[in-house]
Structure 1
Amino acid sequence: MTADELRLLPRSEPEGKHSYLITDHHGGPASRLADVMEVIQLHMGNQLVDHASALLPDEPPGDLRYLAERLTEALRDALRIAESRGRRLSHPDGS
């Protein structure tokens, strides 16, 4: 199995390393769980963007830092999901 056949999961290790799913089953339990995680992460990212839009520029600097950190995390999650989905789209039959 090559790196192109691995599914990049919507989470990373505490050190920031990527996590991958090795499976021969499309739509298996682990893949479905990863799909759900991706949906949740994208939804949370959208909620953060809405929250940021409502708060800025009225929040004090400490609150802005916290918000910026959470937005950074949400963007990192969204980019990981996009990378994972892009890999799967380029190999839709698992080849």
Structure 2
Amino acid sequence: MTGHSAEYVRLLPWTGSEGKPCYLIGDGEGYVSRMADEVESVQLDMADDLLSHVDDLLGDHRATSEQLRYVVARLAESLRDVHRIARSRGARLALRTG
């Protein structure tokens, strides 16, 4: 580590084997940090797109129970991703302000 960089632990926006969390120890400036930022951005964009799809599906009275179960499963996946991002960003913010 260089003298001007602070080392911290970052919860990454993906899981490892068996769904276990992955962490990065570093200064937040490297390749993996940039890749994690990009993955978070994609996950948040996908969550936004999914919400639009859900709005459309809920407005369609012809939507089947299979369609609704499918979209609920995707919402659960997306919520897990967004929750992980929020925890990660909250922890990093606490380090910067604390």
Instruction: Please indicate the TM-score interval, normalised by the length of the shorter structure.
Output: 0.7 to 0.9
The one-letter amino acid paired with 1:75 is: L
Please list every run of 5 or more consecutive structure 2 residues that lacks an aligned counterpart in the other structure: 1-7
Tell me which structure has the larger Cα radius of gyration: 2
Q: Which amino acid aligns with 1:86?
A: G
Find the counterpart in structure 1 of residue 41 from structure 2.
Answer: 39
- Which stretches of structure 1, 4 residues or longer, exceed 6 Å deviation after superposition? none
Task: With a CA cutoff of 8 Å and minimum separation of 6, indicate the structure with the bigger relative contact order.
Answer: 1
Q: TM-score normalised to the size of structure 1?
A: 0.85
TM-score when normalising by structure 2: 0.83
Whole-angstrom distance in 2 between the partners of 1:11 and 1:35: 11
Distance (Å, rounded) in 1 between the aligned partners of 2:14 and 2:28: 19
1:13 partnered with 2:16: yes
Q: Distance in 2 between matches of 1:92 and 1:79?
A: 20
Say whether 1:22 aligns with 2:25.
Answer: yes
Partner of 2:4: none
Matched residue SS, 1:10: strand
- CA–CA separation in structure 1 for the residues paired with 2:24 and 2:77: 21
